[in-house]
Amino acid sequence: MAGKLKLYYFDGRGKMESIRWLLAAAGVEFEEEFLETREQYEKLLQGGSLLFQQVPMVEIDGMKMVQTRAILSYIAAKYNLYGKDLKERALIDMYVGGTDDLMSFILMFPFLSAEDKEKQRAVIVQKATSRYFPAYEKVLKDHGHDFLVGNSFSWADVHLLEAILMVEEKKSDVLSGFPQLQAFKARISSIPTIKKFLEPGSQRKPVPDDKYVETVRRVLRMYYDVKAN
C-alpha cells in the first residue's frame, strides 16, 4: 500500500495552503515536512527534488511534483473534483484562475511593512468587492445551482471558499452585499470534509505571523523588502 502523500513547505499558508484545502476536501490524509532551516532546503535542492528550485513540493503517486497549479490540477483530476467533461474543466480552470488573481493580492501580505499592509488591505477589499465577488455572485445567481460548475462539488468551489475566508480576515463583513456568496459559503462550509478542515486541530494553517515570515525569509534568504501591489 502506498504511503500517505507528503507535503514539503513551511509551517504556514503560502502557496501550499490551497493544496492542503483541496486534499482535505477530497478526504485525503497527508503528511508534512516543514522547512525550518536553510540546510533542509538545500538538501532538497541537492537531491534533485525541486525541479525549478522552488517549493511547494508534493510526493504523490511516485512523483515529486512542483508548480502549485500542476499539483492542484492533478489532485483535482485524481479525486473527481475537476468536472465531468472538457467544458466543465475549462470553466473550473477559468474560475480557479480568477480566484488565484484575487489571492495574489493576499499572498505576500504578511511580508509587507505595517504601512503597506494598511494600503494593501484596502486594495484587497476593493478588488474583491468590485471585480471578483460580483462575478461569482452573478454566476451563482444566473444558473441557480448550489455549486459553481455543473451543480457538483469541484475544485472551483473549494478555491473560492478559501479566498472568501481570506478576504473576510481583512474585512469581516465583506460579503454583506453578496447574498449568493453568503449562501454559497454556508453550503460549502457544511460539506463534511470541509467542515472537518475548518475545525480546530486540523492541518489548516492560521493567519501567518511574524515567526512564519522570519522562517521564510531565513530559509529562502529573502533579504529584500516586499512592496504592495
Write down the domain spans for the chain.
Answer: 6-79+199-220, 86-190
Q: Is 2 helix (H, G, I), strand (E, B) or coil?
A: coil
Q: What is the pLDDT of residue 141?
A: 96
CATH code, 86-190: 1.20.1050.10
Cis peptide before 192 (omega within 30 of 0): no
Task: Enumerate long-range contacts of 208-217, CB under 8 Å, 24 or more apart.
Answer: 208/12, 208/13, 208/14, 208/109, 208/110, 209/110, 212/10, 212/11, 212/12, 212/13, 212/110, 213/110, 213/111, 215/10, 215/11, 215/12, 215/35, 215/36, 216/10, 216/12, 216/14, 216/111, 217/111
- Residue 1's pLDDT band (cuts 50, 70, 90): very low
Q: What is the pLDDT of residues 174-201, one digit of tens each?
A: 999 999 999 999 999 999 999 999 999 9
Statement: residue 133 has pLDDT above 50: yes
CATH topology of domain 6-79+199-220: Glutaredoxin (3.40.30)
DSSP state of 12: S
How many residues appear in the chain? 229
* 41, three cell numbers: 532546503
Statement: residue 2 has pLDDT above 60: no
Q: What is the pLDDT of residues 68-114, one digit of tens each?
A: 999 999 999 999 999 999 999 999 999 999 999 999 999 999 999 99
DSSP state of 172: T
